[in-house]
């Protein structure tokens, strides 16, 4: 039983350390309708459609205008016609 308590205590200490680190470095990102944002390109999905591959591929594309705020963390963007096959709602972590 004593070992279980020691393990729980160590896990709690590690979780507290990780939480304090995240809280210290976290930035709240909120955008307004009409703001221009860059969209992060996934390295695994459709890089070839942007013309370059590998290290030279763009990490962000845009800027695109925000049309609507869908929820606390999701935004709808006005994408051009060549990106019509991509869903136009993105999580805030995909925007800059």
- pLDDT tens digits, residue range 7-58? 999 999 999 999 999 989 887 788 999 999 999 987 666 544 555 666 777 7
Residue 55 lies in a domain: yes
Domain with 85, as residue range(s), is 36-94
Residue 7 lies in a domain: no
Q: Which of 96, 18, 54 is nearest to 10 (CA)?
A: 18
Residue 31 lies in a domain: no
Greatest extent of the chain over all pairs of C-alpha atoms, in Å? 63
Per-residue tokens: 52: 């370059």
Q: What share of the chain is helix, strand, coil (3-state, %, to 5)?
A: 40, 25, 40
Counted domains in the chain = 1
Instruction: Band the pLDDT of 64: cuts 50, 70, 90.
Output: very high
Residue 24 lies in a domain: no
The helix/strand/coil state of 95 is: strand
Distance between CA 8 and CA 35 in Å, rounded?
Answer: 46
């Amino acid at each position: 039983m004593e070992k279980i308590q020691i393990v729980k205590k160590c896990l709690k200490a590690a979780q507290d350390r990780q939480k304090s680190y995240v809280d210290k470095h976290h930035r709240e990102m909120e955008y307004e309708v009409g703001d221009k944002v860059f969209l992060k390109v996934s390295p695994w999905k459709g890089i070839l459609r942007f013309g370059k591959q590998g290290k030279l591929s763009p990490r962000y594309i845009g800027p695109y205008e925000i049309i609507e705020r869908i929820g606390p963390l999701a935004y709808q963007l006005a994408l051009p016609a060549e990106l019509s096959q991509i869903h136009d709602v993105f999580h805030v972590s995909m925007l800059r």
